[in-house]
Structure 1
Amino acid sequence: MIRSVSAAAVLVTAFSAAAQAAPQAGAVIGNQAVATYENTAGDTITITSNTVETIVRQVAGVTLTSDTSDNIAPGGKAFLPHIVTNVGNGADAFTLSVSENDTGAFDAQNLVFYPDANMDGVADSATPITETPLLAPGEQFGLIIEATAGSTASGTDTMTVTAASQLDSGTTDTNTDTLTVSNGAIIELVKSMVAADDNANNRIDAGDLVTITLAYSSTGLVDATNYKVTDVLDDGLAYVAGSARWSDASGALNDSNSFSDVDATNGSGNNIFWNFNDDDTVDFSIDRVASGRTGSVTFQARITSAADAGVITNTATQTVEGTDFPSSNTATIVVDAEFEVDIADQSPNASMTSGTDDGTSGDDIVSETTNVYQGGVIRQEFVITNNSNQSDSLSVSVLDDSNNTYPAGTTFRIVGADGITPVIGSVGPLAIGESAKVTLVATLPSDATPVAASTTSTPTYQVYLETKSDASGASDTSVAAFMGAVLASSVDLENDVTGSEGDGANPRDGSSNPWVVSEDSTQTTPSLGIAPGDAYTFEMNVQNNGGTSDSYNISLANPLPAGWTVEFRDASGSIITNTGTIPDGDTGTFSVIVTPAEDAVAGDTEVDIQVQSAVSGQSDRIVNAIRVRNIYDVSIVSDQAVQASPGGVVDIAHTITNNGNVTITSGTISASGFSNFSGAIFRDVNNNGAVDAGDEVIDNFDDLPSGLAAGDTLSVIYRVQSPSTGTAGVSEVATLSLGETLNGTGSDITPGDNTVEDTITIVTGDVTLEKYQYIDADCDGTVGTFTKTRQDVEPGQCIRYRIVAENTGAFAATNVEIFDSAPAYTAITECAGDCDAAMSPSGTPTFTSTSISGTYAEVLPGGSVDLEFTVEVDN
């Protein structure tokens, strides 16, 4: 049908992500210390310090790989590959240089760098480079050094290759390359793979043709005899029979020949022997490659369906007279990520087929011809397939568009392969080419208009199903076609209520309302209703008009809200799920007991009751409703006792909860009881437990932007200031109250939890906490100047912290304990004894790599104690 295919090319470059233990440049390191103490009243007070912050500075880092050895002929060239990796914590570029060590018997000439961004062993351009492009942390860049030997060179020489950071020229790494002048055979092998978009779909994927070239060059002073190359193809590549060609001769090489049969001869009388094995190994042997000669063997392969998205690599090996020579470079092609999905009556390879399709297999339509009754269920099974070249999960949904001709009120569900379990989210992950079954379950409304079966290609009803790739959004659709008849229902479910019984097929009254609403059959008095958690019973009748005896399963056509319960009971009070057998023309009875959740919101909730014959599928529905009345109930917690210094300020946190089922939009929030103290109630906007500039004074729920929704909580802070003339021991009690009249007319049902009492006592003890820092760059205990201001630090450096607790009150503070922890990207260290954690004036702190604490028995008025420790930044 209608298919959308998404091709997401996998960008594969010479870059690869390297794990970075160190924090990235610009990361913020910082935290606060905490202390507790006891005042003269024996109360435990908790205080926090200021926050100190440290910014991670960019540092350079580089690795160069790897040392390379090669042979070179006098006057010849060698090509030496290397890879530069940025192991710093920020973007950087690197200057490239190479120098001879003059330890050998010859001087290499013209050592030149060329880019090899795809790291295939072949320079990308003829333009020399002296630096890399800008590399992100962990990224790599390939390069080739072209070395040219003098014509009279001999012996062995080494060269030092250096990559230096442009951020910090002192940050370098080196490799040592070794070149040996050889008068023997030297042969270089370069492999390339070039993929063509044969499928013309703007991507490289299965079925596309890859041209593979094995180019050899005899650069030694003597001929290379008995030269052999072996290339084992990746599983994602399949050799194309008859595609092999030798540059020195015309015509195809014979795939079936062995090394004992000559495939071709060039103008110099040299022979090539070509062989292809069924295990996707290709070999060729040339009896002699003259010095100075170059040539190539080219063949083709196709990308197979087994090729996953990503990089395919291949390297060929070579020998001369049975002696191993350096392998070729690693050639690569990139298989683009391709996302294609399928939903139909069978899988694309017909290995899985719909079990319900009454139509033609393979026409992408699932047909159902069995007749159903009004309110009946139509089940149609579909097959979904992941045709992508990587695993993927697929979602399935019903398209409610102009193609949907099912009657209004039809409900659709999608279940899994077992035909029962609902599909929640997506199916999968499915492997490449893997299929799965899903079933569309369509339940007709019980008042669906009866229609005859279709006698044409136009379905009675149809709807489109769509499957989508989770990874890309690629999609496909298929048709669910119902060709059968809709028969008139022959069962009637009614309320046992005169005037609202619901005769006939319509599940609602003539005005689209429920037939019966609990506690209010007139549907005009919203104040009536039942309380959350209270049960209500609907009495029901079932009339069997089907011509034969039948029994009917009882269920809800649509689920109730979470927390609601429903029971079906017979006349004896037993719980049932089926009416039992009802003779033709007779009526059965049962009760529906619905209990709203304890936190049910106010308003009407529909109860959609359905009976359905397990034999014929005949069904009927009645929609009633439960009206839950408005419940107003707010509470505040809890009583607190706090201390304040003379003229001091204390913040007291409380939580207000809406325990009812109505959003509270008005109602007083007040405080009373003070004579000398003063205070105000603030809404803690950011919920941090402290009054900030953005917090707002409130005295009514109407100060809240949207009121307080049912079940929600509100954090408030009662900020109290004591009089400056207050003396130790003086206390006052404030009462915080929530009004009992809510939303203008509602009354709180539990007013006993609408108040709390806060006791504020003046004490003379007062301790402050301050935190400071400096950078110990070498982690050797070097003393610096402590400051509260932001500092810069590098990975591997250390930060020394000091936390100072000072008693600014008039009485001693006892059991003072300071706590702190290592911030993110750091660990506590003692620098092998050079930066020990310390307490002053005395004591020994307790610490691990992540936390530290120190306890002081007493801090006298005007006195202070401190805790010092060091953390090392990850490197």
Structure 2
Amino acid sequence: MKSLQKRKLSEICAKALIAGGVAAAMIPLAYAAGTAAGTLIRNLATVTYEDTSGNTYSAQSNEAIITVKQVYSAEIASDNTKTAAAGQTVYSAHTLTNSGNGEDTYTLTVANADSLEASGINPDSIAIYRDLNGNGIVDAGEPLVGNGTTGTLTLTAGETAELVVAVAVPNTAVPGNQIGIQLLATSTNSTVTDATNGSGGMDSTDGTNNTLITVSNNAVLNANKTAVAGPGANQITYTITVTNTGNKAATDVHIFDGLPKDTTLVSATASGLLTSNGDTLPDPSTAVALDETASALDADLNADGDNGDNTETGFGMDLNSDGTIDGTSVSGVHAIDALLDIGGTVSLSFVVQYDPATYNNNSTPGSAGDVIKNTGHVTGITDPSGPTVTTTPTNPTGTTIPVSYGVDTDDTGGGTGSGTDTANDGNDDTDDTDDIQVVDIAPSGSEVLFYVDISNLGNASDTMDLSIVNTDFPAGTSFTFWNADGTVQLVDTNGKAGPDTGVLAPADPVLTNDTRRILVKAKLPAGSSGTNMTATLTATSTNAPTGASGSTDSTVLELLSISAPGADLTDNKDGSTLGVDGDALASPYALNNGATLGATATSGTRDTTNATVGSQVILPFYIDNDSGASDSFQLSAGSTWDGSSLGGLPTGWTVQFYKGDGSGNPTGIPLTSTALMPGGTADAEYVAVITIPSDPAYAVADYTAAGALDANSDGDGDQPVFIRIVSANSGSSDIMLDAIDVTDLRSIVITPPGSNQIQPGGSVDYTHTLSNTGNTEETVELSAGNSASGWNNTVMVDTTGDGIPDTTLANLNPGDTVYGVDGTGASVPMTVTDGDGDDIPEIAVPPGVNVDLVPTVFAPSNAAPGATDVLTITAENVDPNGPDAVLEDVTSVILGQVRLTKTVAYDAGCDGTPDGAFQANLSTEVAPGECAIWQIVAENQGDANAMNVVIRDEVTAYTTFDTTAAGGVDGNLQYALGTVTVANPLAYQTEAVDSDIADHTNDTVTFHVGTGATATAGGTLEPGQIATVRFRTQVE
């Protein structure tokens, strides 16, 4: 056992007064050392980019995850001096605090410090108790931690345990004997520090607290103090109980206590004191100055030999328990017991009031964890013959301001006037702040934007879990949560119930509540409709007990109406009539030029088009996307329209669609659908190139049918041609009618072309018809092939005559029968042959016969977002001089073209150099104060340029952006275009918004990447090209 420094009892007692103040400072529930061990810190990035038409896309990366490492730290306080009579049990109070960020178990050992004993005596017994009420003595029912030697105690992060060491002084002890007791706290994981090392302490060894007990035959004043918080009243009741456990009566016993800083006295009472006995009662409602020079006191309260002290410095005591001993004059309560007999007990009780919103003994006023500390003192004459005056401090008390929880969600009330506006910009379309965030109108298939303000009204940092209950938005509406800029999607930062706000600081009564504005995006299904739709956003405190008052709040998200998806198809430009059907088609037949808008023929100016047999007719047309969302339209043409279904073109007629050159001429390659057109696009020019059969039997000069028309009044029937557009997303459509006066042409065609979307690993079916539109039988080989590697297909035909395709082309053998239908709908059998022996099936198709083809396209499971496959179905004529038929089905993967891959690496020294590999789920735990390097790789996996590419990420909860300079640059942002190599390293970018391509603003990290990127705009990523970015955060 180590040797304790022996000092004069008077010196020890004097320093104990100072030690008492230090001990009080150690009472609070400690804050854990940083983020809790085991916390999963999750992070994902977002990329935005545009295609060549200016449509904007976004995609999220995978989540990268780091796990917070446990940091072990603990402290024990403090050294004590005690006076006792022989046979008395002495209680020595200590505090053990787990200041680490995770649970730890401590071994507590208590023993006699032999080298300190003045007369070689040992205590009769030693025991350690858990002091549950913190009053410094052992009460009935308080648990025994260790009896005689050793015990263990497990504390969670930030938890504090009040301990009492009970020491039985032998009956054989004589005045002047000293007993030294040492309490040792150890952990297998770390060193437990001693709060009283150095000045005022009895040794300099970590993990030890020492108690020096001096035996006396005088009066022995034991002072114990309790602190009881009044529920809901913001009051604390303190009681100082003084007992004379010595062998003589004590006289002139002064009980005094300074009011804790920032508290006020409510009342004071005493028990066991009578004015008739010469006792002095405390003032019942007014605090008195603790001033030895005042006539009301006139006593040497600190037993230093003079009566002239009136400040903390003079007393050598931290009277108001604010952690400092200074020149402050302190007021408090004071009572005097003229005579305290042997075994007698008196007490002083007083009540103080505090303001939980402003009380502060840490960095944040009114915050949870603020601890109101207090230590009282007792001074009395313990040996009247001397006389000997002694001062005894009570045990320190600490009352933690309870945690309060509160959350508020609110609309922004950002509209104009008392009505509504139609802007779908996230702001409230009304000017009321009524917990209803209103959007007046949004197009079908669009994203509806709702800003919501979420505030932490509690007095502790908290995270608010976010949830949405859809009341009557259309089925299939998806809700996602984003930062206020709408650039980074919110994720689960606390491992609980889905997306959350991240950590919000406690409310600051001096400043404002910590409020975070979020953006809720409601993606409406294509083709949806409705009015007065609502959903309820709820924010729930993560830390509050379930069901606690004020722990949840909700705001209603309301959309007043959905505008129908729309498209307009006209034969001339009518940009001024966006949103109006400028060529509404009459039933059954009316040419475009018969349509009027109001009283004026503003569209539909084209009359009948004359054509010769075998010629092509070029029909320019114009498309308006009247929806609010980007959309593409499948293009088709036919010869009949019944108001809901478009009939096929006459036998042998074909149509191909092209992008217009602005002057009504086709340009580029044939299309089956339009490009993706931004919402509100007007007069996008396309061209239908109609090829007329050369067979006179099917390209007659006088076309006759039910409801035929002679639009140019030349006496013969004209061929009607309906051009129709249909959205693959919303179902919106429009149709227009032209008339062609033609002669004949021989042809074989496959119609109609198809376009659709597909998920990776999925399949999609198309339906087509192979038609012989000529006047001679045509024998063709049927085949199909995908343009993209890894994609597959099957094409089914009817082999039973029931009109349902049932057998794939690959399973046809010579001699099998394929069925088609003629113009009357009658079944027509055709025998499969293979005249050239190439294992490709051949069928002879009579004139006017149609063969149904049902191809199925299969995408590989690893199909990249935005990948497109063209299935080419070919009917190749075995006669080299005969007509062939080719059709393309364009299938696109619906996910974005640019894919982000997010990984993270460990950086122990926060020097920007990874201390290990990058991983999606980092296997190395990161301790508070250490860093993680987040890496995002953007790859264009599509087949077209991605333009204006911007990567954004947020500094996630439980971390801060590390500003340590690296690479000679103030910040930690890094960027490389292309594969990172020695020759193409990552280059540092500054943190500020300046001339380089990256910046860090308000916890959002932004990189403008790609060729031609600038400080304000993203560049271009070519197909297959990658960009790599990195940034570094420090775990709190």
TM-score, with structure 2 as normaliser: 0.36
- Looking at CA atoms only, which structure, 1 or 2, has the larger radius of gyration? 2
